[in-house]
Structure 1
Amino acid sequence: MHIIFTEPHPNAPGSVLIKNKESFPQPRLFLIGSFGVLGTDGQNYTPRSKKARGVLALLALAPRGTRTRVWLCDRLWSGSTAENSATSLRQTVFELKRDLGELAGELLEIDRSTLGLRLDRIWIDVHAYVANPAEYRASGVNMDTELLEGMDIPDEEFEEWLRMERQIWHDKIDQIHDTPANQTAIISQIDYAPGMTMPSVVENRRKLFSLGFLQNIRHGCGAETEHLADCLLDGVAQNLQELQPIDIFDFRDTNIQEDHARQNLHADFFIRVRTLQVQNALTLTFLTYRASSMALEWSQSINAPISEILSGDVPLLQGFIAQNVDRLAKTLFSSQGQSEIPGAAESTAIGYSALNMLFQLDQTSLQRSAALLDHAEQTTSNSIYPALKSYISSFIIGEHLTDMNIESINETRRLADSVVGDNPFNSISIACLGHVMGYVFSEHAMARNLLERALNLNSNQAFVWDHYALHNIYAGNYDQAYAAAKKANYLGSFSPISHSYDTTLCMAATMVGDHGTAINAGRRVLSKQPKFKAAMRYLLANYGMTGQVDKAKDIAQHLLDLDPKFIDPEQQKARFRLNDKAAETNILQSIRVGLDN
C-alpha cells in the first residue's frame, strides 16, 4: 500500500491523510497498490471516475503512452456500439481533464484518433522501479502488493487486459528480487518499450496452479453412459495441461473425503461431475468448488438425448469439454494471488497469457509474448514454450508486425525441430509446429502429417482443428477446411481467441463460396479485433464477390491504413499465400472492386 502525501480527494479510495505533504520534481502516478496521482506539490489529482482512472492506467502501461480511441473503447465499453462507446469515451476524457486540472495540459496529448500520456513528464512507479531496482527496494513496497489494486471496471476486455498486466508485473518483481542489488539486470535482445516485461534468467520458483478431481456422482446411469463423467474430466484435464502446466490431483478412484482433501491438499479448486440419466435423456453437470471453503464457485450443465451426446456427428460432449476448459481457465488465471489457503499454489500462467497476447495483433503484444516465453523457456522444461515461440513467426508474416531476417528464420527452425523431440504428446505444440512448417516454410506434406497427429492426440482442442483448417485452405482442400473450421468455431466459441477461429471460418467459407457465412464471421472478428488484417482481406474479397461495392471500398481503405503495401499486387499474393492458382486469381480479381474504386 502506498502512502499518498495529501489530503484525500473526494471519492478517491485509497488516499491516506497525513500531516505533511512532500514535493516532487515531476507529477507522480501510482499504479502499484492504490491508484493515485500527485502533483509536484503533493496535491492529489486522482480522477474520481472509475473509467477515467481506467483510461489513465491504460495509457500509462501502453507503448509510448499512446492508444487509439478505438482500442480504448474496446477495453472499456466492449459491449456497446461504436457510436455509444465513442460518446462514453469523450465524456470520460472530459472527466479526466477536469480532475487532472492544471496537469491535463502538461500530461495529456489528445487528437481525433488517439489519446496519449507524456511519459517523459510524469514519474510512474512501475516504470521507475523496473528501470532502477534500487528505487523499488527503497520504496518499501511489498512484493505481494497488487498492480492497480481494487480497480474494478466491469468489462471482460478490461479484466483480461488487467490480468495480463498483473502477470507482467509479477514477472518483473521476480526479476528485481532475484537480481542482486549490486548486479546490473540482464536485458534481452528484444527492444522493450516502457511497461514491457523482460525475461528472467533465474529459476522460476512459483508453483503451478492445482486442481483436485473428486469422485463423480452418478444417478441412474447405464453401461453406455456411466463413463461419460470420466471422459468429461479427462478431456478438461488434457486441454488445460497442454497449454498451461498445471498440477492435477485425481481422487476419483479413492475414498478420500472432501474435508480431508481440503485440509491436506493445497489445491486452488476442486472439480466433480454429476451425471443424471432419466430414461433416454442425460444431464451432465460440471461443478467447481473453491478449495478454501468448498463453496460452489460455479456450475454448468447440458441436457440432451443420450444418442446426441454419444453421436460423433453432433459433438455435444466435445463442446461441453471446451466450454468448461475456457471457463475454468478464466477462473484459475484471474484468481492468481487470491487464494485463501496459506502456501497455496501460484503460477505465472505463461502459456495461456502468451497465446492470448499474440492475438491482440500489435507489435507490443508480440514482444510481451516473446518475453514471457523467453522467461519460461529458460526456467521450465515444457514443449509448449518453444512451440509458441516458433508460432510467433506466423504472426510476423501473416499480420506483418515486423520483418523476418535470416536469424529469425534459423531460430524458428531450431525451435520447431526441438518441439516434437521434447514432448510428442502435446497436441497444441504439434499443431504450432505443423502450422509453422506449412505457413512459414511451405512444407505442406510435413504440415499435414503433424496436424493429423495433433488431431489423433486430442480431438477436443479448438486450436488444433483451427490450424488443420488453415492447412487445408493453403493446400487447396476447401471442403475439408470448411468442415474443420466449423468444428473449431464450435469448440472455441467461449475462448478468449474465438475471433481467430471466426477468421479461419471466414476464410474457409470464402473458398467454398458460402459468402453469407464468410461475411458474418468476418464482421464478428472485426467487432472483437478491428486490427485483424487477415479477416479484412477475406471480408474485402467477399464484398467484391457479392458486388457490395461501398462496403468493399470501406474495408479496403481501413486495410490500406493498416497495411499500405497491400496496394501492390505482388504483396497481395504474398498476403493470401494460396497455392491454388485458380482460387488465387479469383480472390485477387474480387478485391479489385474495393481497391480500384
Structure 2
Amino acid sequence: MMSSSHDFILKLAGPVRLIRSDGLDITPKAAKLKALLVLIGTGTSMCRPRAFLQDMLWSRSDPERGGASLRQALSAARKLPGSVPDLLIIDNGSAALNPARIRIDLALPRNCIEIPEFAEGLDVADPEFEDWLRDRRSEFADACEKLPASASAMQVLAERVAPPKVIEAARPAIVICPPVCDDPSVRAHAEILSADVATHIAQIGDADVLLDHRTPGHGKRLAVKVRAMRQGPGMSFQVQLSEVDVPRAIWFGDVACRNAPGVNQNPQFDRLLIEAAAASSAYFGQLGPEGEPDDAMLAYQMYAHFPFQAGPKLERFEAWFSRHADTAQTRAIQLAWRARLRLVSLLENARPDNNAFGEATEFSRAAISLSTDDPVVSAIAAEVALHVEGKVELAGELARLSAERRPRNPFIQAIYAQALARSNRPKQGYAVAQRALHLAAGQPNLSWWHAICASTAIQLHRFSEARKHAELSHFLAPTFRPPLRFLSALRFHDGDEIGAARALCTLQSLEPGFSLQRMADRSYPVASLRGTKLLAVTESGLL
C-alpha cells in the first residue's frame, strides 16, 4: 500500500502507470488512452485544449472523424475500471485531470542504474504525437543527467518536461507554403501573392499566418500554395487552398497577366482574394457537431452564418454568448459580436426588448475598452453608435478608421457605407456599398449586402436602383425584414400597390403588432426612409 495524499498517481518515468492509492494498477491497455493521460498530465495545470489533443492523436483524420474519436477516447478514459467519475474533467473546450485526485510522478526509481525513458514503451502511430514524445523524452533524459534524483530536483524536472503552455483557444491558421515556380523571375511575384491571399483570409476572420504547419497550438489549418509560370512577357498564377491535416484541396483559383510590369495592378487579383476569402469562410465557419459556435472560429462562423435575421439561429448564438459571458475570459471580439446580435434584434424588431438598447451599447463599449486596434471591433462599435446611439459623427470616424485598415473586408466596408450615407455623403456611401457587395461575392447571406446597397441608394434618391437591390435581397432571404420595409415603400412609390400590400402583409406576419402607424413612428427602424417621400406608404391605407 503506497502512502499518498492523492487517490491516484500517474507515473511517467519509465512505463506509463496509473496507480490507485491502494496500490491497484488501473493503467489502460490501449496506447491512445495512455497517450491521452500523458498529454493531459503534462499540460499546464494538468489541462489541455481538446483541439490540441485531437491534433496530437488524430492528425491524419478529417476534423469531424478526429473529433468523434477524441470524444470516444475521453469517454473511455472516464470509465476506466477502478477509477472515479471526477478524475477526468471534460468540457466543450478542454480536458483536465483533477488535481485534487491525482498527482504526476516523475521521480526516478531508487538506486536505478540506468535512467528510464519518459513514457517508456508508449507507441502511437501519429506523426504529431511521435514528434512531441521524441522531444519530451530528449528533455527528460537531459534533465536527469544534470539533476540529482531528489524531490526538489524532480519538481524542476517536471516543469522542464511539461511543454510550454499552449494557446488556450485553438486558433485557426493559414499556412503559407513555398511557391512552385518554373522560372526564378516569377518567384518574387508568387511570394507576394501567397502573402496577400493568406493575410486577406486571416483578416476576414481571426486567424494566424504561419510559415510552418508544425507550429503547435492551432486548430483548423488551411495551406496556401501558389504555382507560377512564365508565359512570354507575362505570367500565370494558380492559387490552391488545401487542408493541412488531411491532404484535400478545397479551392483553386487562377489568373494570367499579359505583361509582367503590370502584374500588381491586375484587377483579377482582387477576384482571387475575394474567392479565396469566401472559400475559407465556408471552411472555417462550420459549426460544431451539435451546431454550437466555437470561440476559436467565432469570427468566421459569424461570417458564414451571419445571424442577420431573427429566428432559431440568432437565438442559438445568443444562448452561446450568454453561456460564455465570463468577463474574466471574454475577448473583445466576443463582446463586439454580442453587441451586434443585440443590434440585430433591434433592427429586426423581432420582439419587445427593453434591455437590447442598453446591452448593445454596453457590450460595444466594453469591447472597445478591451481592444482599440481591432478593425472589426471598431466597425461594430460604429454600427452601434449609428443605429442605437444616433451618434453619426462618432460612427463615421470609427467606420472610416476601420475601413482604412481593412479595405477589402466587405463587412467593414458595408458599415462604412451606412455611416457615409447618414453623414450627408450619400453618393460616396452608395459607391462604398457597391464596393462592399463586390467584395462579398461568394460570401453567405448576400442578402445583407444587397440591403445595404438599397439603403444607401434610397438616401441618394436612386429609387429604381434601390428597388433592384431590395428585390434581390428579399429573393435571397424572404423573411429578412429590412428589404421588406424598403419594398413596401418603393413599390408604393412606383404605383405597385399590390406589391406594396404584399410586402406589408408579410411584415405584419413576421412582426407582432406591426401597423402603418407603427412604421411611421420615429422609433421604427427605417432611418434611411426618413427625409424622403417614400414614407408616404404609411398613409396609404393598404393595411
Query: Which bin holds the TM-score, normalised by the shorter protein?
Result: 0.5 to 0.7
Q: Is the 8 A contact 2:458 2:529 kept in 1?
A: no
For residues 395 and 441 of structure 1, the distance between their equivalents in structure 2, rounded to whole angstroms, comes to: 14
TM-score (structure 1 length as normaliser): 0.56
Q: Tell me if 1:400 matches 2:349.
A: yes
1:475: how far off? Answer: 3.0
For residues 295 and 530 of structure 2, the distance between their equivalents in structure 1, rounded to whole angstroms, comes to: 48
Q: Tell me if 1:250 matches 2:211.
A: yes
1:279: how far off? Answer: 5.3
The equivalent residue for 1:373 is 321
Residues 404/476 of structure 1: CA separation in 2 closer, same or farther (3 Å cut): farther
1:209: how far off? Answer: 2.8
Q: Is the 8 A contact 1:242 1:384 kept in 2?
A: no
1:480: how far off? Answer: 1.2
The residue identity in structure 2 corresponding to 1:530 is: P
Q: Tell me if 1:322 matches 2:268.
A: no
The equivalent residue for 2:179 is 216
For residues 231 and 221 of structure 2, the distance between their equivalents in structure 1, rounded to whole angstroms, comes to: 33
Q: Is the 8 A contact 1:353 1:369 kept in 2?
A: no
From 499, 502, 510, the equivalent of 1:551 is: 499
The equivalent residue for 1:490 is 438
Secondary structure of the residue that 2:368 maps to in structure 1? helix
For residues 338 and 412 of structure 2, the distance between their equivalents in structure 1, rounded to whole angstroms, comes to: 17
The equivalent residue for 2:243 is 290
For residues 308 and 529 of structure 1, the distance between their equivalents in structure 2, rounded to whole angstroms, comes to: 40
Matches within 5 A, 1:386-465: 386-405=335-354, 407-465=355-413
Q: Is the 8 A contact 2:236 2:254 kept in 1?
A: yes
1:208: how far off? Answer: 2.5
Residues 364/267 of structure 1: CA separation in 2 closer, same or farther (3 Å cut): closer
Residues 334/368 of structure 1: CA separation in 2 closer, same or farther (3 Å cut): closer
The equivalent residue for 1:476 is 424
Q: Tell me if 1:535 matches 2:478.
A: no
1:515: how far off? Answer: 3.8
Q: Is the 8 A contact 2:190 2:226 kept in 1?
A: no
Residues 232/321 of structure 1: CA separation in 2 closer, same or farther (3 Å cut): farther
1:222-281 CA distance string (max 9 Å, x none) = 79x94475355345435435534x343125xxxxxx9xx599998733222234453565
Larger mean Cα displacement after TM superposition, 529-538 or 503-512: 503-512
Q: Is the 8 A contact 1:282 1:304 kept in 2?
A: yes
1:270-327 CA distance string (max 9 Å, x none) = 222234453565544221233245454431223455698745xx85434432321120
For residues 219 and 316 of structure 2, the distance between their equivalents in structure 1, rounded to whole angstroms, comes to: 31
Larger mean Cα displacement after TM superposition, 358-367 or 451-460: 358-367
Residues 506/335 of structure 1: CA separation in 2 closer, same or farther (3 Å cut): closer
Q: Is the 8 A contact 2:403 2:412 kept in 1?
A: yes
1:539-584 CA distance string (max 9 Å, x none) = 222212222222222212212222342421564543354388632x
The equivalent residue for 1:526 is 474
For residues 502 and 510 of structure 2, the distance between their equivalents in structure 1, rounded to whole angstroms, comes to: 13
Residues 385/176 of structure 1: CA separation in 2 closer, same or farther (3 Å cut): closer
Larger mean Cα displacement after TM superposition, 536-545 or 348-357: 348-357
Larger mean Cα displacement after TM superposition, 449-458 or 357-366: 357-366
For residues 424 and 220 of structure 1, the distance between their equivalents in structure 2, rounded to whole angstroms, comes to: 44
The equivalent residue for 1:302 is 255
The residue identity in structure 1 corresponding to 2:433 is: A
The equivalent residue for 1:278 is 231
For residues 205 and 218 of structure 2, the distance between their equivalents in structure 1, rounded to whole angstroms, comes to: 23
Secondary structure of the residue that 1:349 maps to in structure 2? helix
Matches within 5 A, 1:90-105: none
Residues 580/521 of structure 1: CA separation in 2 closer, same or farther (3 Å cut): closer
1:369: how far off? Answer: 1.4
TM-score (structure 2 length as normaliser): 0.61
For residues 346 and 384 of structure 2, the distance between their equivalents in structure 1, rounded to whole angstroms, comes to: 11
Q: Tell me if 1:233 matches 2:195.
A: yes
For residues 547 and 310 of structure 1, the distance between their equivalents in structure 2, rounded to whole angstroms, comes to: 49
1:20-74 CA distance string (max 9 Å, x none) = xxxxxxxxxxxxxxxxxxxxxxxxxxxxxxxxxxxxxxxxxxxxxxxxxxxxxxx
1:137-186 CA distance string (max 9 Å, x none) = xxxx98737xxxxxxxxxxxxxxxxxxxxxxxxxx962898999xxxxxx
1:436: how far off? Answer: 0.4
For residues 582 and 266 of structure 1, the distance between their equivalents in structure 2, rounded to whole angstroms, comes to: 50
The equivalent residue for 2:284 is 332
Larger mean Cα displacement after TM superposition, 286-295 or 473-482: 286-295
From 579, 582, 587, the equivalent of 2:534 is: 587
The equivalent residue for 1:567 is 516
From 71, 77, 82, the equivalent of 1:144 is: 71
The residue identity in structure 1 corresponding to 2:497 is: V
Q: Is the 8 A contact 2:237 2:255 kept in 1?
A: yes
The residue identity in structure 2 corresponding to 1:174 is: N
Residues 177/220 of structure 1: CA separation in 2 closer, same or farther (3 Å cut): closer
Q: Is the 8 A contact 2:305 2:445 kept in 1?
A: no
Q: Is the 8 A contact 1:221 1:277 kept in 2?
A: no
The equivalent residue for 1:69 is none
Secondary structure of the residue that 1:211 maps to in structure 2? strand
For residues 204 and 519 of structure 2, the distance between their equivalents in structure 1, rounded to whole angstroms, comes to: 38
Residues 296/572 of structure 1: CA separation in 2 closer, same or farther (3 Å cut): same
Secondary structure of the residue that 1:268 maps to in structure 2? strand
1:221: how far off? Answer: 8.4
Aligned pairs, how many? 386
The residue identity in structure 2 corresponding to 1:207 is: A
From 288, 312, 333, the equivalent of 1:384 is: 333
Alpha-carbon RMSD across the aligned residues, in angstroms, is 4.0
Secondary structure of the residue that 2:373 maps to in structure 1? coil
1:446: how far off? Answer: 0.6
For residues 469 and 208 of structure 2, the distance between their equivalents in structure 1, rounded to whole angstroms, comes to: 36
Residues 414/587 of structure 1: CA separation in 2 closer, same or farther (3 Å cut): same
For residues 281 and 370 of structure 2, the distance between their equivalents in structure 1, rounded to whole angstroms, comes to: 25
Q: Percent identity?
A: 11
Residues 551/373 of structure 1: CA separation in 2 closer, same or farther (3 Å cut): same
The residue identity in structure 1 corresponding to 2:92 is: D
Larger-Rg structure: 2
For residues 498 and 456 of structure 2, the distance between their equivalents in structure 1, rounded to whole angstroms, comes to: 24
The residue identity in structure 1 corresponding to 2:199 is: A
Secondary structure of the residue that 2:92 maps to in structure 1? helix
1:455: how far off? Answer: 0.9
1:522: how far off? Answer: 1.9
Secondary structure of the residue that 2:448 maps to in structure 1? helix
Q: Which runs of 5+ in 1 are unaligned?
A: 1-140, 146-171, 181-202, 252-257, 338-345
Secondary structure of the residue that 2:239 maps to in structure 1? strand
Secondary structure of the residue that 2:452 maps to in structure 1? helix
Residues 287/513 of structure 1: CA separation in 2 closer, same or farther (3 Å cut): same
Secondary structure of the residue that 2:485 maps to in structure 1? helix
Q: Is the 8 A contact 2:306 2:445 kept in 1?
A: no
The equivalent residue for 2:454 is 506
Secondary structure of the residue that 1:568 maps to in structure 2? helix
The equivalent residue for 1:185 is none
1:466: how far off? Answer: 0.7
For residues 276 and 433 of structure 1, the distance between their equivalents in structure 2, rounded to whole angstroms, comes to: 45
Larger mean Cα displacement after TM superposition, 543-552 or 459-468: 543-552
Residues 577/360 of structure 1: CA separation in 2 closer, same or farther (3 Å cut): closer
For residues 528 and 490 of structure 2, the distance between their equivalents in structure 1, rounded to whole angstroms, comes to: 19
For residues 250 and 364 of structure 1, the distance between their equivalents in structure 2, rounded to whole angstroms, comes to: 40
Q: Tell me if 1:596 matches 2:514.
A: no
The equivalent residue for 1:207 is 170
1:218: how far off? Answer: 4.4
